[in-house]
Amino acid sequence: MTNDSTHAATAEVTAIDTQARVPLTLLLAAGLIWLVISGVLGVITSIQLHTPGFLADCSFLTAGRAQAMRETSFLYGWIANTGLAVVLWVLGRLGGSPLRALNWTVAGTIFWNLGLAVGLVGIGLGDMTSFASFQLPRYVGVLMLFAYAAIALPGVLAWSGRRSHGLFASHWYGVAALFLFPWLFSAAQLVLLWSPMRGTLQAVAGGWYTQSLWSLWLAPLALTGAYYIVPKVAGRLMPSYDFAPLGFWTLIFIGGWTGGRHLVGGPVPAWIPTMAVVACTMMLFHYILVGLNLRIASQAGGTAIKFIRFGLVAYVLTGTLDALTSFRVIAVETQFTFMATALEQLGVYAGISMMLFGALYYMLPRLTGRPWASAALTTGHRVLVSFGVVLLVATLAVAGWTQGSDLLDSKLALGEIFNRLRVPLMVGTAAQIALVAANLLLVVNFFRSACVCCATSTPSETPFRQPSALEAHAS
Amino acid sequence: MKNGFIFLLGLFTAIALSWAGIVLGTHAQLGALTPYYDDTEGKSFPERTTGIAASGQLVYADLGCAACHTQQVRRPDYGSDQARGWGERQSVARDYIHQSLPQLGASRLGPDLANLAGRKPSAPDAEDLLKLLYAGSLTHPPYKFLFEQKSIVGESSARALRLTGNLAPAPGHEVVPSDRALALVGYLLSLNTAYDYPESLPATPPAAGHAPDTKQEAKK
C-alpha cells in the first residue's frame, strides 16, 4: 500500500482539512454508528422474512416497523451524515479557504442525530408514516430541517465565498445535494403529513418523494465525492468533461419525474407510470455520461478508487435496471417482489454507500493528518463488504425473480411460493451478517485512526496550496 | 455554469417542475373526485368508512402491515390478481377517497387485501382473522401483544378467543383480543371493492374466449 491515496504520507494536507477535523470527524462517526445499527436491524428483518415468528412478540420490532427503522437509519443516519461530511469537505477544498461557521455543523449534527434517534423510537412505538423512505414521524420533521440547515451552512458559505469563479462538476453535485433536500423534505411533509392529499394521491406524492430523494439527494451526495476524487487520484483530466453538465442537468430535471415507477397498474392516473417509463429511459443519458466521465477510475489504484469503482459500476447498473423494470412488460414480473428490494439495495448499498466508503477512506487521513490505523482492517473491510453486498443483491434478485414468476402462476398458493423463497432469503441473512461484520471492521479502524490523532499533538501543516489547481493532478 | 444565481434558479426550476407536474397535476386531475351516486341502489359508493374501520387503519399503518401486504388489485389482463381471487375488478382511485391513510403497499409476500371482505367463494370472518393474528401461521407472524391472557373471573368474556389444542390457554384463563386487535379486524372486514364503477371496467372490450373477462361481461 505504498502508493495508496488513503495513505497520508503521500497525501496533501491543507489548512482547510485541519480546521474541519473535529466537525467532519463527528459527522463521519455518527454515520458509521448508524451504519452498524441499521446493519443489525437488517439482520433482524432478513431473519423475519424467512422465519415470520422471529421477535414477533416484541411489538417494537414487528416486521413492518423493523424494516422502516432499518431503512430510515440507513438513509438518514448513515448516508446523510457521511454524505454531508463528504460534501462539506469537497466544497471547502474547492472554495479555497477553510470552512467557516463550523460550530453550526457541530450543533446541527447533534440535533440531526438526536431527532433521528427520537424518530426511530417513534417508529418503534407505532408513529411511522406509511411512505417508503419517508417513515420518520411528523413531530421530528421540523427539528430535522433546522438541524440540516445548520449542518449545511458552512458548505453554502464555502460555495458562495469561493475564490475561483468557475464551478466544477463536484461543485454542482454538492450544492445541488445541499439545497434540494430541504425543499424535497418540506414539500413532502406538507402534502403527506401536515395537510394530507386525498386517497391515492398520497401514493403519487410519496413516489415523487422517494424517487426525488434518490436522484436529487442520495446520488448527488455520492457523486460529489466521486467527481472530486477520481480525477485527482487518476491524475488525469476528466474525459468528455464537456458532457458533464448535460449529465448533471438530466439527473436534476428528469429525476423527479420517475416518481410513478412503482405504481404500474395501480389505482392512479395511467400517465403517472407512463411518465416514469419515459423519465427512467431519459435518465439513461445521465448514467451513461457519469460512466463516460469517470471511466478513468478503471486506470487508477488505491483503496478509495477500488470502492468508488465498485460503486460507479453498481450505480450505472442501477440506472439501467431501473429503466428496464419500469416497462410494463417487465414490471408485471418484478412488481411487488424482492426484485424491487434487490434494486434498492443495489442502488443505495452497492452504489451510493460504496462510493461514500471510498470518499471516507480518502478523506479521513487528510482530516487527521495520519494514515489509517490498520491496512489489514482496510483490506478486510473492502473484501468482506464487497462480498456481502454482491451476495445480498444476487440472492434478493434470485428470490425476486422466482417470486415474480410464481405469483403470475395463479395455481401456486402463496404458502408454496413462500417455501420456495426460504433458501435464497436465508442466504440473504448470511449476506447481512457479513455486512455487519465488515462494517464493524471499518468502525474499529475508524475509531483507532481518529482517536490516535486526538491523543497526539496536531501534525505539522504543509503550506497551503490552491486545491482547485490540484483537481486534475495526482495527489 | 459560472453564475451561482442562475445555477440555483435552475435547481429550483427543476424541482418545482416535477413537483407541479406530478403532485399538483394529479391533484388537479383527481383531487376533487366525488363518490359515485347509484340511482338504482339509492346511495353513493364507496360508502363512508365506519369509526372502527378508520381506527383499525391506523393500527394497520402503525404495525407496518403494508411491508408485506398490498391493497391494490391490478386489471384482469395484467398479472394474476383476479385469478388468485383477490378482486373481481381493478382498484381505482375512487375506492380510496374516504381513507385517511391509503395502504397501497409495495410487496406481496402476503396476499393482497384490497377486497378481503368481498372474496369469493369464502371471505374470512372475524374469528379466522383474530386466530391468525394470535397464533400466526407458517407464513404469518403471531402478534400476541395484541391480545391479553387473563384469568377468568366469574363469567368468561364474550370476546374471548375459542382456542383449542396447544394454543389453548391454561385452565381458568382466557385470551381476549385488545381494542386494537378488534379495530384492526374491523378494518380488514371493511375492505370490499364489490361495487363496479364505470371507470373500473376494462378499458378495451375483452377479446372473446378470454376466460376471466367474459365472466366480468356476464356479470354486467
The region of weakest confidence among A3-12, B134-143, B187-196 is A3-12
Predicted confidence band of residue A452 (pLDDT cuts 50, 70, 90): low
User: Any idea what the CATH number is for the domain that residue A287 is in?
Assistant: 1.20.210.10
Of B2, B11, B94, the CB nearest to A176: B11
Q: What are B12-26's pLDDT values in tens digits?
A: 999 999 999 999 999
Instruction: Please check whether residue A166 lies inside any domain of the structure.
Output: yes
Residue of chain B whose Cα is closest to the Cα of A415: B139
Q: Does the residue A50 lie in any domain?
A: yes
For B82-118, letters b (16+ CB in 10 Å) and e give bebbbbbbbbbbbbbbbbebbbbbbbbbbbbbbbbbe
Q: Is residue A474 part of a domain?
A: no
Q: Residue A232 belongs to what domain range?
A: 8-455
- Cβ A197 vs Cβ B101: under 8 Å: no
- What is the mean pLDDT of the segment spanning A126-143? 93
The more confidently predicted of residues B199 and A129 is: A129
**Domain ranges, ordered by start, for chain B:** 40-199
Instruction: List Cβ neighbours of A407 (8 Å cut-off, separation of 6 or more).
Output: A336, A337, A417, B79, B80, B108
Record: contact A130-B66, CB cut-off 8 A: yes
- Give the mean pLDDT of chain A: 90
Torsion of CA A456, A457, A460, A461, to 10 degrees: 110
Mean pLDDT along residues B133-141: 92
pLDDT tens string A398-448:
999 999 999 999 899 999 999 999 999 999 999 999 999 999 999 999 999
Cβ–Cβ below 8 Å for A418 and B138: yes
pLDDT band at B218 (very low <50, low <70, confident <90, very high): very low
pLDDT, residue A353, reads: 97
Span B99-117, average pLDDT: 92
pLDDT score of A368 = 87
Contact B141 A53 (CB under 8 A): yes
pLDDT digits (tens, 9 = 90+) for A47-78: 999 999 899 888 899 999 999 999 999 999 99
State the smallest CA–CA distance between residue B132 and chain A in angstroms. Answer: 12
Q: Summarize the confidence of residues A226-237 as an average pLDDT.
A: 92
Q: What pLDDT score was predicted for residue A327?
A: 94
- For B40-199, CATH number out of 1.10.10.60, 3.30.70.260, 3.40.718.10, 1.10.760.10 equals 1.10.760.10
Q: What one-letter code names the amino acid at A366?
A: R
Question: So what's the ipTM on this one?
Answer: 0.89
For A10-14, A225-229, A334-338, A444-448, which range has the lowest pLDDT when averaged over its residues? A10-14
**pLDDT in the model for residue B142:** 93
A contacts of B61 (beta carbons < 8 Å): 128-130
Q: Does A470 or A162 have the greater pLDDT score?
A: A162
- Give B152 to chain A, closest Cα distance, Å: 23
Q: B87 and B68 in contact (C-beta within 8 Å)?
A: no
pLDDT value at residue B162 = 85
A299 has pLDDT over 50: yes
Cβ-Cβ contacts under 8 Å, A410 against chain B: 80, 83-84
pTM for the model: 0.91
**Do the chains contact at B142 and A57, CB–CB below 8 Å?**
yes
Strand partners, B148: B176
Out of A57, A64, A180, the one facing B67 most closely (by C-beta) is A64
Q: Is A126 in contact with B62 (Cβ distance < 8 A)?
A: yes
CB contact under 8 A, B67 and A63: yes
Test mutation, B3, B8, B15, chain A, max A CBs within 10 A: B15
A274: which residues sit within 8 A by CB, 6+ positions away?
A260
What band does B49 get if pLDDT is binned at 50, 70 and 90? confident
Q: How far apart are CA A41 and CA A75, in angstroms?
A: 13
- Tell me how many domains chain A contains: 1
Q: Is the peptide bond before B121 cis (omega within 30 degrees of 0)?
A: yes
A331, part of any domain: yes
Among B residues 191-220, those touching chain A with beta carbons less than 8 Å apart: none
- B19 reaches A (C-beta below 8 A): yes
Q: DSSP letter at A353?
A: I
A9 to chain B nearest CA, in Å? 35
Structural contact between residues A384 and A321, judged by C-beta atoms closer than 8 angstroms: no
pLDDT of residue A462: 43
Cβ atoms within 10 Å of A423's Cβ, excluding its own: 14
Choose the closest CB to B70 out of A183, A256, A336. A336
Say whether pLDDT at B195 is over 80: yes
What is the H or E stretch that residue B151 is in? strand B147-151
Burial class of residue B157 in the structure, from the number of CB atoms within 10 Å of its CB (0-12 exposed, 13-18 middle, 19+ buried): middle
Higher-confidence position of B120 and A64 = A64
Q: Give B72→chain A minimum CA distance, Å.
A: 6
Pick from A84, A85, A10: which is nearest to A473 by CA? A10
Residues of A in contact with B144 (CB under 8 A): 56-57
In angstroms, the CA A279 to CA A250 distance is 10
- Shortest distance between the Cα of A71 and any Cα of chain B, in A, equals 12
- pLDDT in the model for residue A16: 73
Separation in Å, CA of B47 to nearest CA in chain A: 14
